Structure 1
C-alpha cells in the first residue's frame, strides 16, 4: 500500500478519539485574556502530547503589561539519532468571551459538520497536530519534532513572542496548524499586520469663555484621520483602516486628549515599513497648534513572503495531496498568524495544515470532520519527509529575538 494511503487509514482509525477530544476542548472557554481557561485547555493538550510519547513543558506567559496569559505548552519528540528540528505551531486561545461554550456548545450536524467556539480556529488544527505526532512517533528516527501550543495568538502573541522566536530559531522547518481555507487551500503567505495607536495630547478649556485658550485634541485627531485615509492607494498592496476614534466627554469642553487606532496591512516588507513611517510622519505634524501626538505600533506581524524553503514545503505537500487523490491549491491570505513571526526568523514555513474549516471568529464557525483524517495524514507524511530531507533553512536565524 502507498505510504500516504496507509497513513490515511491510520488517521481514520484515530478519528473517534479526535472528535471526543475536540468536543472536550471546544467545551472549555479559552479567550486570550482568560488565563484559567487557556490553562484548562493546556492541561488537556499536555496530557494528549505526553500520551503520544512527547516530553512536555508548560511555560508561563505574561502580557507586556504584566498580567498572566496562561501557559504555553511545548511537546518534544526526540529521535534516537541526530537530525533536523521540525516545529509544529498552533494555538489554544480563542476570541470568545467567557460563557460562549455554554451558550454555543459543541455539536456535529449530519455526522460531518462540527460547530462551536474555536472548533476551527484553532482547536481543530491544534488537535490535528497532536494526532499527527501520535502517527509519526513510532517512525521518528532522527532529530526532534517540537509541538508549540500558544496561549495568546489571537492578540498577536504579545506575551509569547520571545518563546516562539526561540523555538523558530532552533527549527530547520516549521508547519503551522491553522486550518485550511474554506476551499481546502493551504497557506503560503500572509499580509503584514499592525495595530497603530496614535495618542493626541492638547489643552482643555471652556468652550464658551476661552475656547481659544484650548488646544483641541479631537480636531487634531480628525485631521490626522483624513490624511491617513489618503494613504490608501499610494501602495497597491497596502490597506489602512481607521477603526477607532475616541475623544471628549462634554460638548462645552475643548478636549485635551484623543486616540486614533488603525489597522494596517501590507503584502510587501518595503511598503509595510513605508506606510508605518508615513503614519508616524502625519502624527508628528503640528495639525493643531498646541497638540502633540505619539504613535505606538502594537503587535506588529511583518509580511510573510515565501522563499525557496517555503516553496519546497509547498510543492512536497501538494505532491502528497495528489497521491492521496486530493486536488488543492496553495494561496496567500490577508490575515496574520504565528507563521508571520516564524517566517521573520528565517525559518521555512507552510501554514493552513489543519483540517478544512471556516467562519473563524463568528457564531457560525465550522470544521469539516470528513477532512480530518486525510489532512492529518498529509501533515504526518510531510513531517516525516522533513525529518528525512534534513534542514530546509536557507539562511541563519535572525540576529535578535522578537520583542514581546
Structure 2
C-alpha cells in the first residue's frame, strides 16, 4: 500500500523516542515484551474464551479489571457504561494519555469461542479482533511495571465497550465526554504494526421506515399507496447521488425488507442506510440529502394515488442507529509523529497511513491528539467464524505502543512530547 510523502518527524520527538529506547529501563521493558510472548498469548486465549458480545461484555470486563489490578494498578474501576479504566499515575506534572482496547466481539452469546491451536496458528471467533488488543494492553502495563518505569504524566489503561456494530463506539465516546481530562488517546486494534491511522472515517446510519394501511393488490389498486414503492422511489434518487472522492464520501442502502405477500400492496417497508466520510461537514450534507430523498419519495407515492391524509396515507419514520463522528489529524500531530518515530526506532516500515473507523473516532472528532496502533501478529478473517491469528512477531505491537506512550507522557529521563490541553 502506498504511503503519501510525509514531512520529517520533529527531531525533538525522534530524540525522545531514541532516548527512551536506549535507557536502561527502556531496554529492559522492550526485552520483557520479547521474553513474555508465550505468557501474553495465553492471556489472549483466556480472554477470547470469555464471551463478550456487544452490550454484554461484563464477564470479560471483570477478568480484565482483575488482571490490571494483579499487574500493579491500584485505581481500577468499571465505570457506569461498562468500560474498565485503570489509572497508572505519573509524577503529576505531565499529560494524560489513554490506551484503549475494545473488549466486545461481533459474535452473539452461545458462539463457540474455544480456541484451537495448529502450530503457531490460533483459531476461534474473536481471537484477533480484539483479544489481541487486550493482550497488548496488559503486556504494555507489565513492561512499565516490571521495568520500574516512572512517568511524568498519567496513563489510563482502558478496556472499552461497544466498539463493534451498533455498539457505535459508545465506550470510547463516554471516555471522551469531558468527565475525564485527556491529552491524548491511542486505540489498540488490528494487527499490522506498519499501519498508523491518521484519520477517522465517520459513519451515520439510519433505519428508515414507511408505514400505511396496505391492501389487496387488485381490489385496492389505485386507492392505496405502497410502502415498498415509496422506498424504491427513494432508492432510485439516492443511487444517482454524486459524492466527493476527496474527502472520500460513500453511501449504501445496506438492507431492505417489507411487504406481506406477492399479492399485497405493502403496508410496511424499511431500509438501513450507511453513509461514511472522513469529513464531518460532507457527512452531514450527505445525510441531509438522503433523509430529504425519503421525505420526497413518500410524498410522491402518496401523490401518485391522490392520497392527502386519511387512513391510507403513508407515514415516514427515521431512526438513527449509528453515529460515529469523523476527524482528521494533521501530520504534525504529536501522537502521529511519536508513533512514526517509534516505528523507525524498531525498524518497522510505515506501510499504511490511512483512515478507518475505530475507537479513535471519538477523540479525533474532538481534536484530541490520537491514532490507532496495532498489536503484532497476523489476524485473518475477522468477524467470521473462521477467524484465526498467527503468532508472528507479537512482541512488536507492545514494543511500538510502549515506546510511543513513554515518549508522549515522559519517562526514562525524557520530558513529555505530548502537550497538556487546556480545559
Could you state the TM-score of these two structures normalised by the residue count of structure 2?
A: 0.82
Q: Distance in 1 between matches of 2:218 and 2:320?
A: 37
Alpha-carbon deviations, 1:22-76, whole Å to 9, x = none? 111111221114x2xx222112111111112222101243xxxxxxxxx321111
Which of 363, 380, 396 lines up with 1:342 in the alignment? 363
> Is 1:204 aligned to residue 214 of structure 2?
yes
**Which secondary structure state, in structure 1, belongs to the residue aligned with residue 383 of structure 2?**
coil
**Who is 2:190 aligned against?**
179
Residues 208/157 of structure 1: CA separation in 2 closer, same or farther (3 Å cut): closer
Show structure 1 runs of 4+ deviating over 6 A. none
In the TM superposition, what are the counterparts of 1:125-140 in structure 2 within 5 Å?
A: 125-137=133-145, 138-140=148-150
CA contact (8 A) 1:304 1:339 kept: no
1:204 touches 1:255 (CA, 8 Å); kept in 2? yes
* Runs of 5+ consecutive residues of structure 1 not aligned to the other structure: 62-70, 398-404
The one of 25, 32, 37 aligned to 1:10: 32
Deviation at 1:169, TM superposition (A): 5.7
For residues 303-355 of structure 1, the C-alpha deviation after alignment (integer angstroms, 9 at most, x for no partner) is 23123563x3222222222222222334214x412111121222110103322
Q: 1:167 to 1:122 in 2, by over 3 A?
A: farther
- Over 3 Å counting, the alpha-carbon distance change for 1:218 and 1:230 in structure 2 is same
- 1:228-243 to structure 2, matched below 5 A, reads 228-231=238-241, 233-236=242-245, 237-243=248-254
Is contact 1:5–1:324 with CA below 8 Å preserved after alignment? Answer: no
- Higher relative helix content: 1
Find the residue that maps to 2:233 and give its secondary structure. Answer: helix
2:59 to 19, 40, 57: 40
CA gap 1:2/1:82 in 2 versus in 1, 3 angstroms: closer
Alignment of 1:14-163 (within 5 A): 14-33=36-55, 35=56, 38-54=57-73, 55-61=75-81, 71-102=82-113, 105-111=114-120, 113-137=121-145, 138-158=148-168, 159-160=170-171, 163=174
Equivalence map 1:359-398=2 (5 Å): 359-388=381-410, 389-390=415-416, 392=418
**What is the Cα deviation at residue 234 of structure 1?**
2.9
Count, aligned residues: 378
Contact 1:355 / 1:367 at 8 angstroms: preserved in 2?
no
- Alignment of 1:274 with 2:279, yes or no, is no
C-alpha RMSD over aligned residues: 2.4
Match in the other structure for 1:64: none
CA distance in 2, matches of 1:394, 1:265: 31
Alignment correspondent of 1:265:
276
| 1:253 has 2:264 as partner | yes
The one of 265, 271, 294 aligned to 1:283: 294
> Closer, same or farther in 2 for the Cα pair 1:85/1:168, shift >3 Å?
farther
Give unpaired runs (5+ residues) of structure 2.
1-20, 303-312
Higher gyration radius (CA)? 2
Q: Structure 1 pair 263/393, CA: closer, same or farther in 2 (3 Å)?
A: farther
Q: Please give the TM-score of this superposition, normalised by the length of structure 1.
A: 0.86
What displacement does 1:239 show? Answer: 1.7
